[in-house]
Amino acid sequence: MIGAIVIQSVFQSIPLLIFIGKYGIKDYIANFLGFEKRFSFFYALYIGIIAGIMQEAFKYLGVELKPKRFAIWIGLGFSIIDIAALFIDASIARLITIFIFLNLISSLSFHPGTAMLLKYGRLIGKRFQYLALAITLHSLIDGGLVYIEMIGAFFKPKDILTYINLYWFIVIAISIGVLLSGYVLINKVDDKPIGYVPTQT
């Protein structure tokens, strides 16, 4: 997870570095904020996709190299790092308690759930399909959060609380659904020896 976050941060910083290179240190902020406001959806989608690819790819490598009983623990390891980063952000930005609580539920459900789904996909010979599913869901969750933050910061709609509540309802539903699905599915299949490569279907 630490490796994923480091590489993820590099790729997510590319647009910002481009603006610094083009406008210089003094003038990049106003130009970059204008870019974020104009292309909020696409920028949020970019941030989400990078996070999804990096974290789920590294998670897949983890479950690939271990028996299936370790999948949930690998996912929890990702959650621990995710939560540690959350508390660092919370101490800096002074995030409200309910936001932290919702993030805890989401992280402790989503990461173990996708880890089990990734292992399940590997065991039934559909590793790439389940990796794509995990990346898609992760991208929507992270990208959606960035987009909601941008909407609130740049456009300040009167019904922003409705958007926030809807977002978190969807995220919690996805996270718990992924956890339950992963747990049920992984317990329906037998483990295979490490190095076993099932036929792709």
Query: Is residue 62 over pLDDT 90?
Result: no
pLDDT bucket at 25, cuts 50 / 70 / 90: confident
Which pLDDT score is estimated for 164? 84
Average of per-residue pLDDT across 129-133: 94
For residue 91, pLDDT beyond 60 = no
Scored b (16 or more CB within 10 A) or e, 4-21 reads bbebbeeebeebeeebbe
Q: Give dist(CA 157, CA 159) in Å, integer.
A: 5
Share of the chain above pLDDT 70, in %: 89
Question: Would the pLDDT of 157 be above 80?
Answer: no
Mean pLDDT over 163-172 rounds to 88
* Per-position DSSP letters for the chain, written without gaps between them: -HHHHHHHHHHHTHHHHHHHHHHHHHHHHHHHHHHHHHTHHHHHHHHHHHHHHHHHHHHHHHHHTS-GGGHHHHHHHHHHHHHHHHHHHHHHHT--HHHHHHHHHHHHHHHHHHHHHHHHHHHTT-HHHHHHHHHHHHHHHHHHHHHHHHIIIII--TTHHHHHHHHHHHHHHHHHHHHHHHHHHHTTS----TT--PPP-
Residue spans of the domains in the chain: they are 2-186
Asked if 57 contacts 4 with a C-beta cutoff of 8 angstroms, the reply is yes
Q: How many C-beta atoms surround the C-beta of residue 188 within 10 A?
A: 9
Residue 109's pLDDT band, with cuts at 50, 70 and 90, is very high
Please give the structure tokens belonging to residue 88: 């660092």
pLDDT at residue 89 in the model: 62
Q: Most distant CA pair in the chain: distance in Å?
A: 59
Cβ-based neighbour number of residue 133 at 10 Å: 17
Comparing 186 with 22, which gets the higher pLDDT?
186
pLDDT band (50, 70, 90) for residue 201: very low
